[in-house]
Amino acid sequence: MSEGKLYLTGLKPTGELHFGNYIGALRQACIASQENKTIIFVADLHALNAVRDAKTVRENSYKAAAVIMSLGFNMDNVLLFRQSDIDSVYKLTELLMNVTPKGLMDRAHSYKATVDKNTAAGLDVDAGVNMGLYTYPILMAADILLYDTDIVPVGADQKQHVEFARDIAGHFNAIYGNVFKLPEPQIIENAGILPGLDGRKMSKSYDNVIPLMAPESELKKKIMRIVTDSKTPEEPKDPETSAIFQIYRHFATMDEIATFAEKFRAGGMGYGTAKTILFEKVNSVLKPMRERYEHLMANPQEIDAAFAKGAEIARKIADRKIAKVKKAMLG
Ligand code: TYM
């Protein structure tokens, strides 16, 4: 691996990886990997508070790994593994519990969102909340702190979690000395919250995603389903409020982006035409990746080999860190 900053990011296998995951996190990690050590893992333990079927978790984990392995990461710099293969992460989670204030968990966006939903529905505030969901940020802090991560490329929805990891590391270091590095989130401008088909944040829970490796015909169908207003082709349109443009800008060149925005503003380009341009651009970028993805899905032994190789190295780094943490806490 090359020297420099250590980048780390994780992806939860609760469904197929989508454009939001790619634009918000994966692509930045892929760029980082060209010059820097980069850890990227399938966060299968994080799926357990919601997905109750082992086969689904396992299949989604393979799909996630196949996506990662298709995007052009510099694999010489990358450690790829499945989170559950690293025993030290369970241990560090348990140890970090002791320095994590409960109030921090109460303030976590995902927990608060559930509480708000329950309150609005007249239910008990904690209805449907298990400890996996409640302590989710501690597991995520363990992921990040275990490897002395410098930078965590993520979408905006994960910013608070990375800040919590930093806070937890700070609490720990204040008590036990300088054991953990303080990580920083990296969120790309205009890419922190990619909109989905209905204009809300693209998210599996809103059922509005475009899967990154959807076959061509499905990709086209999804793009054609992006919700628009009722403006006629002749009417001027604001690119900044259009999900079509918000997605296009991440795949096109600077000149193409400027031309597209200009055509929208001037009027004369209808939404149907805009969607066709978006589909063609996105498809041209994703086609070679999709071919590699399909090859890997047909040859899962290649994914098994990659998981095994990554886990072996990651385990050594993680075990060394756990030994230091135990020494600091237990003598
Ligand atoms: P997850 O699996 O929900 O999402 C993976 C990454 O994709 C980003 N993302 C988006 N970015 C922009 N626009 C969107 N619409 C969009 N939707 C998702 C997320 O911000 C995330 O970066 N808890 C994490 C997984 C995780 C992790 C970690 C990440 C576990 N341990 C340690 C970083 C470091 C999660 O559920 O992400």
In a domain, 294, yes or no: no
Distance in angstroms (rounded) separating the CA atoms of residues 111 and 114:
5
Question: Based on the domain organization, do 165 and 52 belong to the same domain?
Answer: yes
Mean pLDDT for the stretch of residues 307-328: 98
**What's the pLDDT tens digit per position in 123-143?**
999 999 999 999 999 999 999
Tokens of residue 176, six digits: 């036990």
Question: Based on the domain organization, do 31 and 116 belong to the same domain?
Answer: yes
pLDDT at 2 (0 to 100): 46
- Ligand 1 atom closest to the CA of 136, numbered from 1: 23
pLDDT at 125 (0 to 100): 96
Mean pLDDT for the stretch of residues 211-233: 97
Question: Based on the domain organization, do 185 and 235 belong to the same domain?
Answer: no
**What's the pLDDT tens digit per position in 138-166?**
999 999 999 999 999 999 999 999 999 99
Alpha-carbon distances, residue 270 vs 138, 262, 274 (angstroms)? 48, 13, 6
Q: CB count, 10 Å around CB of 299?
A: 12
In a domain, 199, yes or no: no
In a domain, 183, yes or no: yes
pLDDT at 87 (0 to 100): 98
Distance in angstroms (rounded) separating the CA atoms of residues 97 and 80:
26
Mean pLDDT for the stretch of residues 8-21: 97
- pTM of the prediction? 0.96
CATH number at residue 248: 1.10.240.10
Distance in angstroms (rounded) separating the CA atoms of residues 225 and 271:
11
- Phi, psi of 15, rounded to the nearest 5 degrees: -175, -165
In a domain, 206, yes or no: no
Amino acid identity of residue 66, one-letter, is A
Alpha-carbon distances, residue 91 vs 87, 94, 97 (angstroms)? 7, 5, 10
Report residue 206's pLDDT band, with 50, 70 and 90 as the boundaries: very high
pLDDT at 4 (0 to 100): 83
Q: What percent of the chain has pLDDT over 90?
A: 97
| Domain count across the chain | 2
Question: Based on the domain organization, do 47 and 184 belong to the same domain?
Answer: yes
**What's the pLDDT tens digit per position in 39-95?**
999 999 999 999 999 999 999 999 999 999 999 999 999 999 999 999 999 999 999
CATH number at residue 136: 3.40.50.620
Distance in angstroms (rounded) separating the CA atoms of residues 321 and 317:
6
Question: Based on the domain organization, do 14 and 112 belong to the same domain?
Answer: yes
pLDDT at 48 (0 to 100): 98
Q: What angle do CA 226, 282, 202 make, to 5 degrees?
A: 45
pLDDT at 67 (0 to 100): 98
Question: Based on the domain organization, do 317 and 243 belong to the same domain?
Answer: no
Question: Based on the domain organization, do 143 and 253 belong to the same domain?
Answer: no
The per-residue DSSP string of 151-195 comes to EEE--GGGHHHHHHHHHHHHHHHHHH-S-S---EEE--TTTSS-B
Question: Based on the domain organization, do 63 and 173 belong to the same domain?
Answer: yes
Counting ligand 1 atoms within 8 A of each CB, the residue from 111, 143, 158, 162 with the most, and so the one to mutate, is: 158
In a domain, 121, yes or no: yes
Average pLDDT across the chain, whole number: 96
pLDDT at 3 (0 to 100): 58
> From the CA of 262, how far away is ligand 1's center (Å)?
32
Question: Based on the domain organization, do 246 and 124 belong to the same domain?
Answer: no
In a domain, 132, yes or no: yes
Distance in angstroms (rounded) separating the CA atoms of residues 193 and 141:
22
**What's the pLDDT tens digit per position in 267-286?**
999 999 999 999 999 999 99
The per-residue DSSP string of 48-67 comes to TTT---HHHHHHHHHHHHHH
Residues 6+ apart with CB under 8 A from 125: 115, 118, 119
- Ligand 1 atom closest to the CA of 194, numbered from 1: 13
Q: Which ranges of the chain would DSSP assign to H, the alpha helix?
A: 19-21, 27-33, 44-47, 54-68, 87-97, 102-106, 109-120, 131-134, 136-145, 159-176, 216-224, 243-248, 254-266, 271-298, 300-330
Q: Which domain holds residue 263?
A: 213-289
In a domain, 207, yes or no: no
Q: What percent of the chain has pLDDT over 70?
A: 99
Report residue 191's pLDDT band, with 50, 70 and 90 as the boundaries: confident
Counting ligand 1 atoms within 8 A of each CB, the residue from 86, 157, 160, 200 with the most, and so the one to mutate, is: 157
Question: Based on the domain organization, do 156 and 94 belong to the same domain?
Answer: yes
Q: Is the pLDDT of residue 1 over 60?
A: no
In a domain, 203, yes or no: no
Question: Based on the domain organization, do 89 and 221 belong to the same domain?
Answer: no
Contact criterion met (CB below 8 Å) for 142 and 89:
yes
Question: Based on the domain organization, do 278 and 312 belong to the same domain?
Answer: no
Closest C-alpha to ligand 1, atom 9: 21
